[in-house]
Amino acid sequence: MNAIDIIAKKRDGLKLNKDEIDFMINSYTNGDIPDYQMSAFLMAIYLNGMDDYESFLLTDSMLKSGDVLDLSMIDGIKVDKHSTGGVGDKTTLVVGPIVASLGIKVAKMSGRGLGHTGGTIDKLESIPGYNVNLSEDEFIKQIEKIGIAIIGPTKSLAPADKKLYALRDVTATVSSIPLIASSIMSKKLAAGTDVIVLDVKVGSGAFMKTIDDAKKLAELMVSIGKSFNKKVIAMLTDMNDPLGLAIGNNLEVIEAINTLNGKGPKDFTDLCLLASAELIVAAGYAKTVEDATKLAKKQIDNKKALDKFAELVKYQYGDPSYVYEPKKFASAPFIIPIKASKSGYIHKIDALTIGNASMRLGAGRLKLDDKINHRVGILLNKKSGDYVKEGDILAYIHSVKEDNLEIEEMIKKAYLIDESKYSPRLILDVIK
């Protein structure tokens, strides 16, 4: 068996078997196949696709390239939640504490932001002292003790994915449904949880630009999960507009805290309640999503979810006082209002443009080793569906510089204002 024959087989649109896929993944992970051959293999998959069984085999091979975390010593159902990446998506910071406050075990490994999408780990590191680098043993013990841990990925879990993703990023093969599905699911399955809720983003600020592609990805990941005897639920949610009002690390953590205090933006709150409800039902703590939503809302109203977030921060060496006093977060030295140039209803706030503007302010990174500034970002003042008058403030730039003319223009162009009324739709579908 050799790489050239396997690349040629997939290039010609033929199906690969388990031995062939294992050979490519194991050989590349071990350094026996060079980047240029794996690049050709990835491009062949990108152009010709894979069927569901090939995608399962690819996920399985990537999963077995490293360790699989054993959480069996932790009592009860273990749950995880994953987003395919978006702008202003700080959902984990709310959903995790809500669910954990009910006694459901939340075992979450998150990533850093890259490009226009934000990373949960970067946001948590906005809290002074928060340590995202727990060992696997510390991770398990914390879940046993307080019911939740949120850390960065460990090097031993699905190492093939880390190598492959870096290569996909520079070979224009990121937006392939089988490659995205195997990447996400190999990491989620390696983390050892019983239930996974996936938030599959759709729109300008997401990898999946159309509902059809997002649905294919969601259905494939649910299918892969079932093949591994895991309960997987996929929500399709809109990412043509940013989620919530805050984009940028400190700003997003503050918005998450506001939401846990019952004062979050409606779209963000609704999504957090639905994701929590799906996890609550899947874990057997409620029979219906409606009942589970009420239960999740109750945990916000009685402050138990907020207290659980503070406990999480404390146990991971962060300063929990920031959870109760969000004014302690450092703010940017310059806060610049962006005003509407005409009156009308907002039909769209282009998420990709807003995400890129935030990245250029320093809230995101082009490369994983880039430094980010936790203080900067964009705070929206008006959302899609709102009516604005000329001169109304649409958003605020939080910057370390006084002069941000180029970014101001980007934000103005991101807002589409029209005379007709418009009602946005956030939840597009749920696939189980």
| CB under 8 A, 24+ apart: contacts of 327-331 | 329/126, 329/250, 329/253, 329/254, 330/250, 330/374, 330/375, 331/250, 331/375, 331/398
For 408-426, b/e burial (b = at least 16 CB within 10 A) is bebbeebbebeeeebebeb
Q: Where does the pLDDT of residue 115 fall: very low under 50, low under 70, confident under 90, or very high at 90 and above?
A: low
Q: How many CB atoms lie within 10 A of CB 141?
A: 16
Chain mean position to CA 405: 30
Interval 61-87: pLDDT, tens:
999 999 999 999 999 999 999 999 889
Segment 28-35 shows an average pLDDT of 96
Instruction: Report the top-level CATH class of 78-324.
Output: alpha beta
Q: Quick check: 231 and 115 in contact, CB under 8 A?
A: no
More confident residue, 207 or 254: 254
First to last CA, the chain: 38
Judged by average pLDDT, the poorest of 151-155, 396-400, 405-409, 423-427 is: 151-155
Please identify which of the residues 90, 105, 162, 168 carries the catalytic annotation: 168
Which pLDDT value is given to residue 342? 96
Domain ranges across the chain: 3-49, 78-324, 332-418
Judged against a pLDDT cut of 80, whether residue 114 lies above it is answered with no
In 3D, which of 72, 85, 95 has the Cα closest to residue 150?
A: 95
**Cα separation of 69 and 159, whole Å?**
13
At 107, the pLDDT band (50, 70, 90 cuts) reads very high
Q: Which helix (H) or strand (E) holds 79?
A: strand 78-83
Q: Give the span between the Cα atoms of 6 and 141, in whole angstroms.
A: 43
Percent of the chain with pLDDT over 70: 99
Place of tokens 């894979």: 50
For residue 278, the Cα-to-chain-centroid distance in whole angstroms is 17
Question: What is the pTM for the complete model shown?
Answer: 0.94
Question: Rounded distance, CA 323 to CA 164, Å?
Answer: 37
* Residues 126, 194: Cα–Cα separation, whole Å: 30
Q: Which of 80, 122, 161, 350 is catalytic?
A: 161
Q: For helices 159-169 and 35-48, what crossing angle results, to 10°? A: 80
183, 186, 276, 384: which is the annotated catalytic residue? 183
78, 187, 308, 375: which one is catalytic? 187
Task: For residue 168, indicate whether it is catalytic.
Answer: yes
Is 365 considered catalytic here?
Answer: no
State pLDDT tens for residues 349-372. 999 999 999 999 999 887 777 889
Average pLDDT across the chain, whole number: 95
Q: At residue 245, does pLDDT exceed 70?
A: yes
Name the pLDDT band for 113 (thresholds 50, 70, 90).
confident
Place of tokens 């350094």: 31
Tell whether the model's pLDDT for residue 98 goes beyond 80.
yes
CATH architecture of the domain covering 3-49? Up-down Bundle (1.20)
268 pLDDT exceeds 90?
Answer: yes
And the tokens for 273? Answer: 């309640």
- In 3D space, the residue among 1, 41, 83 whose CA is nearest the CA of residue 178 turns out to be 41
Per the residue annotation, which of 78, 81, 82, 374 is the catalytic one?
A: 82
Q: Where are the beta strands (DSSP E) in 114-168?
A: 148-151
**Above 70 in pLDDT, residue 229?**
yes
Rg (CA), the chain: 21
* Single-letter residue type at 371: K
pLDDT at position 156 = 87
Tell the residue number behind the tokens 């979050």, with chain if given: 264
How far apart are alpha carbons 193 and 207 in whole angstroms? 25
Cα(398)–Cα(36) distance, integer angstroms: 42
**CATH class assigned to 332-418:** alpha beta
Is 238 labeled as catalytic in the residue annotation? no
User: Using CB atoms within 10 A of its CB, is residue 385 exposed (0-12), middle (13-18) or buried (19+)?
Assistant: middle
- 127 φ/ψ angles, rounded to the nearest 5 degrees: -85, 120
pLDDT at 165 (0 to 100) = 87
Mean pLDDT of 22-35: 96
